[in-house]
Structure 1
Amino acid sequence: MTWYFTEDPAVFRAAAGPLLAAEPARNTTVLTLMDRAVRLGWWADPDGRVTGTVAVAPPCVPLLGAVTVAAARALASVLPYGPGEAPTEVRGETGPVEAFADAFAGATGRSWAPGVRLRLFRLGTLVPPDPEPVGRARVAGPEDVPLATGWAREFARDIGDDPDARDLTGPVTERVTEGRLLLWEDPGGHPVSMAAVSRTLEGQACVHLVYTPPAERGRGYAAGVTTAVTRTALATGTEQVLLFTDLANPTSNGLYRRLGYRPVTDHLSAVFTAP
């Protein structure tokens, strides 16, 4: 059993395509990052069958796809990276992440601590909120980019990420340009919540950037805009609609269950300290 690596998405897709197609939900982060990853990898059994994937986000953050604990443990010793590029964290399903973190820490003298714990949900049957919140959803336009970028920064801060770690204007603009970011407006026409959806890859898309400013929470706006963006994904023929929630946030976990989303697997980020 062996890990193979490439920087070419076409080579990766040719090798790992059957697994990506068979397990699109468990490989959603790999699929989303595939064209922007600094490195892609696949784990092959002795018969050549691919049973694991990884995408390395810049500068050097492994994102584990569907992968076994044994493969994740082996990855810690063979993942290629240059001087000064050692992983600062690893993300993926909880068991494989813990296996990678333990093996990497043991080999490098580092320690690691658990970061954000997430739960991956997949839509069963959409159940719109009843009663529906007041207002309406609309597709965000170019004039909404500054507002949505500001909210994206607040969203990043809420989930424990550093909003200054990367430019968010570009990704927000991309979603707006492609019609994948929706706003919920109150009856006065003021934006009060937002949600976006990824591009559809291998029949699946992921709802993200669900954010409501603190002053507007508790009015059902997040339920309204999540329902709307879910419908947008379904209308394009998406077979599986996914989303991640912070396990420390019982409000959002309860909301998505009420809307018809069902748990798939739990995820963890493991953060490494300096040696």
Structure 2
Amino acid sequence: MTWHFTTDPATFRAAARAHLAADPARNTAVLTMMDGAELLGWWTGPDGTVAGVLAGSPPPALTFGAVPVEAAAALVLPDGAEPATLRGETAAVEAYAGATGLSWEPAMGIRLFRLGELTPQDPAPAGRSRPGGTADLPLLCDWTADFAAVHRYEPQDDYTDFLTERITEGRLHVWEAPDGRPVAMAAVSRVIEGQARVHLVYTAPAERGRGHAAGVTTAATRAALASGAAQVLLFTDLANPTSNALYRRLGYRPVADHLGVRFTPRA
């Protein structure tokens, strides 16, 4: 039983393909990160079968896919490196944190949801969905910076490239109020292993409480289904009962709770 590591996505895919395909929902974060990750890892059990995966990105930050508790507790990164942050299913994150002896603090509690049957809000919120465009970029960059701050993600200096990729591929959706003002946004990931994830759901602060998030989430969900996703997923902040209730009303059902932690470097 051991961990294996690579920086090559093709090597990782070849080794972990069956594990990733067996449960794309629980592996969603790794699936969407793997092509840009700086480190990829997989755990093999006693029979040599891959039973866990992870992805690493700067600063360093680790993300677990489906990882057994015993694999998480046994994880030692190459060259003895230690992560600044880790997120994944709660039991696995706690197992790793406990085994390392590192001091840590919770950064976020999130819940993974999977779409059952889409149930759009009735009556539908006022306004309409449209694709995001390059003319929206200044506003969308401001919204994304606020989204990152609220959810305690590592901030970026500039979100232009991040958003342009989604706009160019038709994966970013804007909700317009009846007067044409953009009031909310949502994005959807590429379809990988039959799964796609709705993310970046954000409503301008002055426009909240009017159903815009329901409208744009429904639009993004429909786009994911139209792109061929057999499973449509999303993460919610456990500290936000409004969003958790919204996604349940739209037909999403809980899969697993996740924990994000920050580690204190050893002295």
TM class by shorter-chain length?
A: over 0.9
Q: How does 1:105-184 map to 2 (within 5 A)?
A: 106=101, 110-163=102-155, 165-184=156-175
Amino acid at match of 1:126: L
Q: Distance in 1 between matches of 2:158 and 2:52?
A: 31
Structure 2: segments with no counterpart, 5+ residues: none
State the Cα distance separating 1:166 from its structure 2 match: 4.9
Q: Distance in 1 between matches of 2:246 and 2:253?
A: 11
Residue in structure 1 matched with residue 176 of structure 2 by the alignment: 185
Q: Distance in 2 between matches of 1:251 and 1:157?
A: 18
**TM-score normalised by L of structure 2:** 0.97
Q: Helix, strand or coil: the match of 1:256?
A: helix
Give yes or no for the alignment of 1:240 onto 2:240.
Answer: no
State the Cα distance separating 1:114 from its structure 2 match: 1.1
State the Cα distance separating 1:274 from its structure 2 match: 2.8
Q: Distance in 2 between matches of 1:238 and 1:189?
A: 30
Q: Distance in 2 between matches of 1:166 and 1:26?
A: 30
Residue in structure 2 matched with residue 10 of structure 1 by the alignment: 10
Residue in structure 2 matched with residue 93 of structure 1 by the alignment: 89
The question of whether the paired residues in 1 share the 8 Å contact of 2:37 and 2:55 is answered with yes
Give yes or no for the alignment of 1:65 onto 2:65.
Answer: yes
State the aligned residue count: 266
Q: Distance in 1 between matches of 2:40 and 2:153?
A: 23
Give yes or no for the alignment of 1:103 onto 2:99.
Answer: yes
Give yes or no for the alignment of 1:274 onto 2:260.
Answer: no
CA RMSD of aligned residues (A): 1.1
State the Cα distance separating 1:81 from its structure 2 match: 4.5
Q: Distance in 2 between matches of 1:61 and 1:154?
A: 21
State the Cα distance separating 1:59 from its structure 2 match: 2.8
Q: Distance in 1 between matches of 2:260 and 2:40?
A: 19
Structure 1: segments with no counterpart, 5+ residues: none
Render the CA deviation track for 1:148-185: whole Å, top value 9, x for unaligned.
Answer: 1111011111112243x453211111001110000000
The question of whether the paired residues in 2 share the 8 Å contact of 1:3 and 1:44 is answered with yes
The question of whether the paired residues in 1 share the 8 Å contact of 2:25 and 2:233 is answered with yes
Give yes or no for the alignment of 1:252 onto 2:243.
Answer: yes
Q: Helix, strand or coil: the match of 1:167?
A: coil
Render the CA deviation track for 1:10-55: whole Å, top value 9, x for unaligned.
Answer: 0100010001001101011101110111110100112111100011
Which of 79, 92, 97 does residue 77 from structure 2 map onto? Answer: 79
The question of whether the paired residues in 2 share the 8 Å contact of 1:212 and 1:222 is answered with yes
Amino acid at match of 2:222: R
Q: Distance in 2 between matches of 1:217 and 1:81?
A: 47
The question of whether the paired residues in 2 share the 8 Å contact of 1:53 and 1:64 is answered with yes
Residue in structure 1 matched with residue 253 of structure 2 by the alignment: 262
State the Cα distance separating 1:223 from its structure 2 match: 0.1
Render the CA deviation track for 1:55-96: whole Å, top value 9, x for unaligned.
Answer: 111232110110101000001xx21147xx531111100000
Q: Distance in 1 between matches of 2:51 and 2:21?
A: 12
Q: Distance in 2 between matches of 1:66 and 1:224?
A: 31
**TM-score normalised by L of structure 1:** 0.94
Q: Distance in 1 between matches of 2:107 and 2:132?
A: 32
The question of whether the paired residues in 2 share the 8 Å contact of 1:4 and 1:42 is answered with yes
Q: Distance in 2 between matches of 1:98 and 1:204?
A: 26
Deviates further, 184-193 or 140-149: 140-149
Q: Percent identity?
A: 63
The question of whether the paired residues in 1 share the 8 Å contact of 2:141 and 2:158 is answered with no
Amino acid at match of 2:151: I
Q: Distance in 2 between matches of 1:147 and 1:103?
A: 44
Render the CA deviation track for 1:94-152: whole Å, top value 9, x for unaligned.
Answer: 00000111112x2xxx3111110000000000000011001100001111112111110
The question of whether the paired residues in 2 share the 8 Å contact of 1:145 and 1:176 is answered with no
